[in-house]
Amino acid sequence: MNSVPLWVQLVCLAGLILLSAFFSMTETALMAANRHRLRHLAKRNNKLAITTLWLLERVNKLLSVVLIANTVINALVTALVTSIAISAFGNNDKVVTIATGIVAFLLIVFAEIAPKVIGATYPERISLPASLILKPLMAIGQPVIWFVNLFVNLLLGILRINTGAAAREHRLSPEELRSIVLEGGNFIQQKHKSILLNLFDLESISVNDVMTPRTQVEALNLATPVEEIKQQLVTCYHNKLPVYEGEINKIIGILHVRKAAALLSKGDDLRTEHFRELLSDPYFIPEGTDVFTQLQYFQENREKLGIIVDEYGEVLGLVTLEDIIEEMIGEFTTSVPGNAGVDSFHWSEQGECMLEGATTLRDINKRLQLDFPLDGPKTLNGLLLEILQDIPEANICIKMPGCIIEVVQVQHQAIKMVKLIQTVKSS
C-alpha cells in the first residue's frame, strides 16, 4: 500500500463507503416498499416494478447478496483505514484503536444510519432503479449465495423456522385493510373512504341494527274490511307490503302494491281473496344474521325484502336490500312523509336535538358524533329503559357522555320523544 498515493487510497475509501451506503439504503428501501403499489405498477407494465417484485419474491437470495456485498465492503473499509493510519502515524496500539474508532464512526453515520433513513423515506424511488443493479449481481453471485444459504437453511432447519409457511400466512387482516384506508389521506376521496369503511363494518353489525322495527313496519291486515285495505293501498308509500291475517306475527305473504293497484277498480266486487292471489311467499331472516351474510343471501335468493324473526318466530321487524345499500353508501332514498325531521336530525345552533325514542343508537352516534353503547339495546328508548329500569315520566333527565337526555313524551309504555342537549360542542 506504500506505493499507492494517499489521495488514491482516500478516493477508494470514499468509494467503498458510498457502495456500503448504497447497499444499506437499498436493503431498507426494498423491505419498506409498498408491494401493493408495486403490483399496481407491474400491472401497468412498468419494467422496474416487475423486476423489483421478482427480487422481493426471492427475498432470501436478495438479502444474501446485499448483506454479503455490504459485509465484504465494510471489511475492506476497515482494512483500508487501518492501513492509511499505520502508514501515516506508525504501527502501534493507539493508532489501531483510533483507526477502529474512525471506521466505526464512518460506517455508522455514512454507511448505515443516514442511508437507511433515506431508504425508508423514499422506498419506491430507490428500490425501483436499484433493482436493475441487484438482479445482475444476484446472477453473478449465485455460487456464493448458494454456499452461504446452505448454512443459513441448515440453521433455520435446526430452529424449525419455515419461511415458506410464514410468507403464506402473511395476509392482510380486515383490521389492517381498514387501517390502510384510514391512512389513505388525500389519495382516497372522503366519500370513497366512507364507503370502504362501511363495507368493513358489514360483518360486525347484524340485521337487527339496520332493520325497520316492528312498531314502524307498514303492513296490510287482510282481516280488516276491504274498504280499509283499499284506503291503506291508496295512501301507501312503499312498493311492497308484508301481509298478515289477524296479528302481525302471522305473516302470510308479500304484496306488490303496483299489482294490487289494478284491483282497486273492481269496486264492490273486490274481495280479500283477490289480494291473497297476488301474494308472494314471505322471506324470513333469523335475528342476529350479520349484514354482509344477509347481502349475499339476498343475492342468492333474489330477494329484496326479508322479515326478521326471533327464536320463537315472533316478528321483530323487516330489512330491505336498500337498507343494506344505504348502510354502505349513505342514505339516498326519499324520506317517508312524516319522518323527514327524524331522518335529517342534527344539532341545532343551541346544541339541542329532538328525537323519537325509536331512533337507533347507531344513527345517533353517526349523525351526532356521540358514543352511546351499541352492545345492548338498539334504540334510544331501549337504552333509557335499561338505565332507568322503569317506564319514566316526562321531564326526566339523564346525563350521558357528550349530552343530556331529557324525556319529553311517554306514550303506550314507551318513550315517544326525547331532547338531546349537547354538553361538549363537537369541533
CATH number for the domain spanning 225: value is 3.10.580.10
Task: List the one residue out of 348, 362, 321 whose CA is nearest residue 205.
Answer: 362
Judge whether 200 lies within some domain. no
Amino acid found at 65: V
3-state secondary structure 279-345: CECCCEEECCCEHHHHHHHHHHHCCCEEEEECCCCCEEEEEEHHHHHHHHHCCCCCCCCCCHHHHCC
Same domain, 319 and 345: no
Q: All 3 cell numbers of residue 20?
A: 456500503
Q: For cell 400491472, name the residue.
A: 43
Q: Residues 142, 97: one domain?
A: yes
Q: Are 218 and 308 found together in one domain?
A: yes
322 and 351 fall within a common domain: no
Is 189 within a domain?
A: no
Residue 268 has a pLDDT of 65
427 pLDDT band, cuts 50/70/90, is very low
**312 shares its domain with 390:** no
- Tens of pLDDT along 221-252? 988 888 888 888 888 888 889 999 888 888 99
Neighbours of 405 (CB within 10 A): 21
Instruction: Say whether both 118 and 255 belong to one domain.
Output: no
Average pLDDT over every residue of 131-155: 86
| The pLDDT of residue 106 is above 70 | yes
Mean pLDDT of 262-274: 76
Domain C-terminal end among 271, 303, 329: 329
Question: Which residue among 169, 196, 229 closes a domain?
Answer: 169
Where is pLDDT greater, at 166 or 294? 294
Distance CA 324, CA 109 (A): 56
Asked whether residue 134 is assigned to any structural domain, the reply reads yes
For residue 363, what is the domain's CATH number? Answer: 3.30.465.10
- Give the dihedral of Cα atoms 71, 77, 82, 87; nearest 10 deg: 150
pLDDT reported for residue 308: 93
Helix (H) or strand (E) holding 271: none
- Has residue 348 been placed in a domain? yes
The total of structural domains in the chain comes to: 3
* Residue after which a domain boundary falls, among 298, 329, 360: 329
* Residue 113 pLDDT level (bands cut at 50, 70, 90): very high
Is residue 156 domain-shared with residue 274, that is, in the same domain? no
Q: Which residue has the cell 335475528?
A: 287
Query: Would 194 be classed as within a structural domain?
Result: no
Q: Looking at the structure, do residues 315 and 280 belong to the same domain, yes or no?
A: yes
Whole-number average pLDDT of the chain: 83
| Distance from C-alpha of 12 to C-alpha of 80, rounded to nearest angstrom | 9
Asked if residue 156 and residue 69 are part of one domain, the reply reads yes
Kindly state the cell numbers that stand for 157.
432447519
- 246 in a structural domain: yes
Same domain, 357 and 303: no
For residue 338, the model assigns a pLDDT of 46
Q: Where is mean pLDDT largest: 43-57, 94-108, 326-340? A: 43-57
Domain encompassing residue 86: 6-169
pLDDT per residue as tens digits for the range 370-383? 888 888 888 888 88
Calpha distance 344→335 (Å, rounded): 9
CA distance 190 to 374: 25
Tell me: pLDDT of 334 over 70: no
**Do 345 and 317 sit in the same domain of this protein?**
no
Dump pLDDT digits (tens) for 361-409.
888 888 888 888 888 888 888 888 888 888 887 678 888 888 989 888 8
Q: Would you say 242 and 217 are in contact if contact means Cβ atoms under 8 Å apart?
A: yes
163 and 108 within one domain: yes
Residue 192 in any domain: the answer is: no
Instruction: Tell whether 188 is covered by a domain.
Output: no
Q: How confident is residue 170, by pLDDT bands cut at 50, 70 and 90?
A: low
